[in-house]
Every structure is written in structure tokens, then in C-alpha cells.
Amino acid sequence: MTILQALILGVIQGITEFLPISSSGHLVIVPFLLGWNLPQQQAFTFDVLIQFSTLFAVLIYYQNDIIQIAKAMWKNMREKKPFASVPSRIGWLTLLATIPAGLVGFFFQDIISDAFSNPQLAAGFLLVTALLLIVSEIKGKQTRDLGKLNWKDAILMGLSQAISVFPGVSRSGSTISGGLFRDLNRKAAGQFAFLMAIPIMTAAGFLSLLDLLRAPELDGFFAIMAVGFITSGVVGFFAINWLLKFISDHSMIPFAIYCAIVGIGTLTISFISAPNTDFIADKPMEVPITITYQSSVSWLLPDMQTCLLDLDYKKSILIKKDDAKIVPEQASVHISFGKLSSLPIESYQIGNDALVIAANQENPIADLPIKILINVLSGEISSYDALFDACPSCISDSGNKESFNIWRYPNNHPLQDLANEYTNTQFSSTSFIAPTPLQMVQVLNTDENSIGALPGKMLDENLKTIMIINGNERERMTPILANSQEEINEVIKDWLLCVQNAVK
């Protein structure tokens, strides 16, 4: 990504974030139409971070309202009447409306990330935005103002915001439409839509910052980020003011028409420019190399990206996350942790890792004998107090009466199969489910009472390993494999050797 590209995308983000035409959709479609081949991980991080910039525009524009709401919430809480005043009620309803989008973002992060590399999907979602705007304008009676906002309004607008995590579905468009469906007037729906965006944009922005800090070549990327960040924030501030004035007296149908035109136009262009498969046999095409990896080896991503820089290769090479147990159809090579359900034609070992039982550093559980661990994971021991009775040396806080939370992966997930095998037990049926190791890391970081299984190299400074006494540590060592369904060419072999050396 260049400085000029960051400037253009920053302007587009600032304009489209608050207009009901989907900023995320434009950030996917514009590079596609201009022929920019941006790295997926870098583009996704950039897109989310410049959306974080527009958060500051919202905070500045609504600073007086935010202060008033915060004061009212504090005052009414002290009086034990949290919903006594309109500003306090709006504050609590804002938090309520944030929950659906937060849950979708947490559990479907990988799917959302992949959607940011699919312009056809973004174009299709633009058509969804157009439909929402048109139907809400027709159905909405617009008889209620912001002072009449209730929990049903917040829930529906929150669900509307949840679908806007996908590129092409406008956050402002979907949430304002949700308000219109509840018969709020356009101005009230717009005001609440911007307020309820603050918590979710804040969370997404901070997660994007963490991704940025883990990315290689930070020095060059920071300058690009700064240009997009500043540009989108300044442009976004003026876009808020214009939109709120516009929708007070005007229909949103023009925005719906615009979304429909851009969506249909992008789908048409992508269809016309798609390769003609009738001539593939006569004219072999340059097919990009696609390297996929399980989220359990996400820690390898910086090394994988760095090794690409050493390749003298003209074809484009894509790196994308895919938690498939065997090699995905679109993958030239798949990097995975642990055993596969079926062996591909070629398989290379590029390193080792160990599956560990992990917990938050603040968790009082210490090392566990294998028999006690089995009772903990199976649910026979479910509280710190019960653990102390069974094994006083296994816990540092003997007076803790709380229960702890056991987290596992879905059934048939490769990591869960390994966890069952290494601990010689089935996790409790009442345990919570984390879809991927990345979600497991987030859970263990935020809840000090949680316990789960993780690849050892995914542990960060907030997490610790619960050692297994009398357990065979060597048995838990698992190869990191590079697998392919067809013969691996010399270019990929050189790349694998580079990654292997980095792991060593």
C-alpha cells in the first residue's frame, strides 16, 4: 500500500462512514475497480483502523451529548434509578444495542476478515443496503423522537448494526433503517445510530491496533496508516454534520439508488472481467499461489510474510486464514497444527509446537496431577473450593469459592481431538465453546476464571501454562505441517525452507 492509496482510501472512508452507503464496501470495491492488489491482512487492518479514526469524529461531534449522558447515568445509578432520565436511558440503551454486533464480531472474526477480500460479496451487500433503505422509507411512520426510545428499538437497531460488520452493509444505513422500522423519525434514528456506533468502533479499533503491532515492517506501515487515519477523521467530521441536516428533511432513497448502481455496476464489471474458462486448455493462465493456514499457527504469519519478500517470483502470492482440517481446495499449500484427518500427497514438517492447558496469569490454579486435571476438565471438580479439597497444593488461594469456566473447541475440531487424546478425557458437556484458538486467547485474556487448551506458541504475557504432573510432555509435542494435494514447486519449497529456518 502506498501513501497515495492511503490518502484516497482515507477520503473515501471519511465520506462514506456516516453516509448510508457503506464505507467498508467502498474500501473493498474501490481497490478492486482501480486494480490495486493489496495484501489481505494489511488491507483488513488498515480498513478497520481508519474506521477507528472516524470514531474520533463522532466523539468530537457528540462530545456534549456524551458528557451529558455519562453524567446522567452516574447520577441515576447513585440514586438507584438508572432509567429515570432520558439521557441516562439513552446511555443504557446504547450499550444494549452494542451487544449483537460485539457477539458477531467476536465469533465470526475470520469470516469477516475474509469477506474484506471479496468485492463481489461487498457489491451484493450494497444491494442489501439499498433494499433496507427503500423498505424502511416506505414502512416507517416516523412518528417518534429520541426521547421515546425504548429497549425494543435498541435491540432491533443493534441487530441491524450486527449485520453491518460485513463489507457492503452500511452501518449508518442499516441502523437508521432499523430505527425507521420502529417508527422513529430520521433525525432520531440517525442520532442514536451514531451514538451506538461508538462502543463497537472503539472495540474494533483497539483490536486493529493489536493486529498492527504484530505486523512486520511496522516503520513503513505506520506512515501509511497515519495518512489514512488523519484524512478519514477530518473528512468524517464534516460528513456527520451534513448527513444529519440532510436526513431531517430528505428521504434516503437517493442513497439507496446510489448503492444499487454501485453494487450492480461492480458485479457487472467483475463478471465481464472474469477469466473465460473455455480457453484455459489452450491458453494456460497465471494462477496465483494461495497459502492458507490454521489460526492455531497465526503466530507464524510475520515470518510467512517476511519470507515472501525473499522470493524472486512474478506471480501474486496470497496468504489467508483457513481452519480446514485438510488442504482447502483453493490452497497450494496449507500450514496446520496437529494431525490431519487424511494425508495429502506431499507433507513437510516445518517445526513443532505443544498443546498446553492454559489460563490467565491471575488464575490461582497451579500445576495439576493428571488425575486431578481429568476431573477438572470433565466437570467433576468445578470450583476452586472443590479443587482445594481434592488437592491443596494445586491452588494458591484456598478461600476462593468461585467456579471456574472450562472452554473447549467444537466437536471434531482438530485441536479438540488432540486435547481429548493428550488429557485422556472428554471435556465436560457443559463447557463453553471457542470456535478458534484466536477466540480462545481472547477468552482467557478477559476472564481470569477460564481454562482452555492452546498451542504453546500462542500464549502471550497475560497467559500461563498449567503444567501436568506425571503427564508425558513429549507426547504433547505436535508437528507443524505444510501440506499440499499436489507436487510442491521449487518456489514454494524455497519459501517453506525460509519459514522452517525462522521457526528454528
pLDDT in tens, 368-416: 888 888 888 888 888 888 888 888 888 877 666 778 888 988 887 878 8
Q: Residue 198's pLDDT band (boundaries 50, 70, 90)?
A: confident
Residue 161, Cα to own-chain centre: how many angstroms?
Answer: 15
Q: Which residues of the chain are in CATH 3.40.190.290 domains?
A: 287-504
Q: Helices (H), strands (E): how many in the chain?
A: 18, 11
HSE-CB for 310 with a 13 A CA cutoff = 15
Cα–Cα distance, 39 to 288 (Å, whole number): 13
d(CA 315, CA 490): 14
* Mean pLDDT calculated for residue range 267-295: 61
Query: How is residue 379 annotated by DSSP?
Result: T
Note the pLDDT tens digit of each residue in 99-114: 888 787 667 666 666 6
User: Which band of pLDDT confidence, cut at 50, 70 and 90, is reported for residue 134?
Assistant: very high
HSE of 289, CA atoms in CB hemisphere, 13 A: 19
pLDDT at 276 over 50: no
For cell 504484530, what's the residue?
214
CA atoms within 13 A on the CB side of 201: 25
Mean pLDDT, to the nearest integer, of 256-273?
A: 84
Inform me whether the pLDDT recorded for 292 exceeds 80.
yes
Q: Is the pLDDT assigned to residue 37 strictly greater than 80?
A: no
Give CA angle at 220 (214, 222), nearest 5°: 65
By C-alpha distance, which of 452, 457, 469, 440 is closest to 338? 457
DSSP state of 279: G
Of 211-225, 333-347, 366-380, least confident by mean pLDDT is: 211-225
Q: What's the Rg (C-alpha) of the chain? A: 25
Q: How confident is the model at residue 30 (pLDDT cuts 50, 70, 90)?
A: confident
pLDDT of 11 > 60? The answer is: yes
> What is the reported pLDDT for 131?
92
CATH code for the structural domain at 287-504: 3.40.190.290
> Which ranges in 250-356 belong to alpha helices (H)?
253-272, 301-308
Whether the model clears a pTM of 0.85, i.e. scores above it, the answer is no
Rounded Cα distance between 439 and 462, Å, is 15
Helix 301-308 / helix 490-503 crossing angle, nearest 10 deg: 130
Q: Which contiguous run of DSSP H or E holds residue 119?
A: helix 119-139
Q: What is the mean pLDDT of residues 449-454?
A: 89
Left (φ > 0), alpha (ψ -120 to 50) or beta: where does 450 sit?
beta
230, three cell numbers: 488523519
**How far is it, in rounded angstroms, from Cα 252 to Cα 437?**
42
Q: What is the mean pLDDT of residues 209-229?
A: 62
Neighbour tally for 367: CB within 10 Å:
15
Least confident of 217-226, 406-415, 418-427: 217-226
CA dihedral 452, 453, 456, 462 (to 10 degrees): -10
Which residues, 6+ apart, have CB-to-CB distance to 29 below 8 Å?
A: 119, 122, 123, 126, 262, 266
pLDDT-derived band at 226, boundaries 50, 70, 90: confident
Mean pLDDT of 278-290: 48
Distance CA 445, CA 421 (A): 25
Q: Which range, of 90-104, 245-259, 284-298, 378-392, averages the lowest pLDDT?
A: 284-298
Q: Strand 405-408 relative to strand 432-433: parallel, antiparallel, unpaired?
A: parallel
Residue 286 has pLDDT above 60, yes or no: no
Nearest of 224, 230, 233 to residue 5 by alpha carbon: 224
Q: How many other CB atoms are found less than 10 A from the CB of residue 487? A: 8
Give one DSSP letter per residue of 206-260, joined into a string: HHHHHHHHHSS-HHHHHHHHHHHHHHHHHHHHHHHHHHHHHHHHS-SHHHHHHHH
